[in-house]
Chains A and B, each alone.
Chain A
């Protein structure tokens, strides 16, 4: 088992960009990956609805963009493509999951987006929910009492923008320990190291070392994934381990960051969709979505999984009837 929880979905959907996505997925299969999540990015412009005063300050081009864009249609389009990909790769031993990352600049702009994403009445729910803070206020949203910590379970992953310097905030032990104790994992994206332009490979090393330092060397807290937009930026197990050793991590952590930590992260997300507060689960397997339909004795009706008994299992009833005669 190997996991890669960040394969970005293209911002503007064309035939070429989706071809590129399929290429990266097929290279991941070649490299023995089994669990892969496709990532949809939400910038603050997408979910924020500006007030009247803010509208007056904007230029005409921005206003037109704002009116044309609709978040609901965009998410529907994403799930349409996601289903197509699921059908295509279902035979090839690859499990696909959907993931959303919300970029936070100012927590006041968020509104009710987390409530809408996690509403149980929503037919299309994301398996994983991640947060990308752009400023110090965005990071403090995680530790605030009014913010995400009150409904902490709705968030699984914390990521950072590794291609640029963290502008204006410095990570501390105290805040990161508080976040990771609740089960939220911190993500490292390794694709930035192959990008030579704009000194982004140097920035990646600087940022990643800062993250590893505050997360207690990443023993139970860190996960590693590609953020690869091209298929050439994806690497196998041995190459990823060499990158991790370059960052100063010990050898016993490599398999944890590729296998165990991301799987527990996935379990957290799937249990949120399938169960009531991790007590009672519906269905047979949490990680599988629709695979058990193939069996004849099982059936799904309105989300419930129904098992039909066959002639072999009727022994119980016969026992009872015998007892009644006696």
Chain B
């Protein structure tokens, strides 16, 4: 190429008129590889951004797709994990504060006064305490979940419970309950392989794939705690109220081993019967009902 380059300069270009240097640039022996134009890339990026302001046309579905779904899912998991851990630590702190006070004054505070006391003096601890069971019972259970389940099962509260139940079909109700959502429901553990979980009761905050996260109901005058209860090897009792006063309730049970799906996946799921060798504890283990009757 060098030989031919010199030949071009000396013989051909010297005979032509005008500036030689400007002509040299035009006939360079090397190929130049330049980056792609930026305008084309920009036009592609515009597709994924929704236009702000007045948007008249219909929004296409593939434009709404979230690209960083995995990242947001991870962050939300970490946030929930840290909340549960933080609440456990703060319950310990709050217990220590009140036991000190009780020793000084030789008194025992009631549950409401305990919460009020910490709200006054230690505002930081109070912020990250889990909400009390009574609050959750009123807001989540009575206001949210009970009207929802009445709508799903088509229960009229205005009539007497015998009339409404005679109209319903049991098999259809069981099918609908298998699909429905359990955030905000009140559950109780009646049968387990793990004996320390027996008799725990509370309101569901989050219904994950393999566990229920609940706010526990404590009968003693202590702070409410958040607990993670695995679905495997345990059976949960739910009660659906039928009358207005919540005096009459229909009893159902959830088998945890067959219920290991997220609530969003459960809608399109086709359940199937399986071999029952892994739920043999359902017969052999003792029951809450039997132990209460015998005592």
Contact = CB atoms under 8 A, between A and B. Distances in A.
Interface in B228-278: 239, 242, 246-255, 258-259, 271-277
Nearest to B249: A307
A271 B142 CA distance: 31
B255 A323 contact: no
A280 B177 contact: yes
A276 B165 contact: no
B184 to A, nearest CB: 15
B273 A278 contact: yes
Given A279-B271, A282-B252, A320 B280 contact: no
Given A280-B252, A281-B252, A285-B287, A306 B161 contact: yes
A316 B178 CA distance: 28
Contacts of A191: none
A326 B282 CA distance: 44
Nearest to A266: B283
| Majority secondary structure of chain A interface residues (helix, strand, loop or mixed) | mixed
Interface stretch (B11-19, B61-69, B167-175): B167-175
A289 interface: no
Given A307-B248, A319-B134, A272 B277 contact: no
Nearest to A271: B276
B109 interface: no
A64 interface: no
A263 B161 contact: no
A275 B235 CA distance: 13
B162 interface: yes
A66 to B, nearest CB: 34
A301 B135 CA distance: 33
Interface string B149-167: 0000000000001100110
A278 B255 contact: yes
A324 B138 CA distance: 10
A304 B282 contact: no
A153 B289 contact: no
A86 B252 CA distance: 26
A178 to B, nearest CB: 13
13 contacts: A271-B276, A276-B171, A278-B271, A278-B274, A279-B255, A281-B253, A282-B174, A282-B252, A284-B251, A305-B250, A307-B239, A309-B248, A326-B112
Interface of B: 112, 134-135, 137-138, 142, 161-162, 165-166, 168, 170-171, 174-175, 177-178, 239, 242, 246-255, 258-259, 271-277, 279-280, 282-284, 287, 289
Interface of A: 120, 152-153, 181-183, 220, 260, 263-264, 267-268, 271-272, 275-287, 301-309, 316-317, 319-320, 322-324, 326
In the A-B complex, the 3 residue pairs with the smallest Cβ-Cβ separation, listed nearest first, are A153-B273, A183-B275, A277-B271
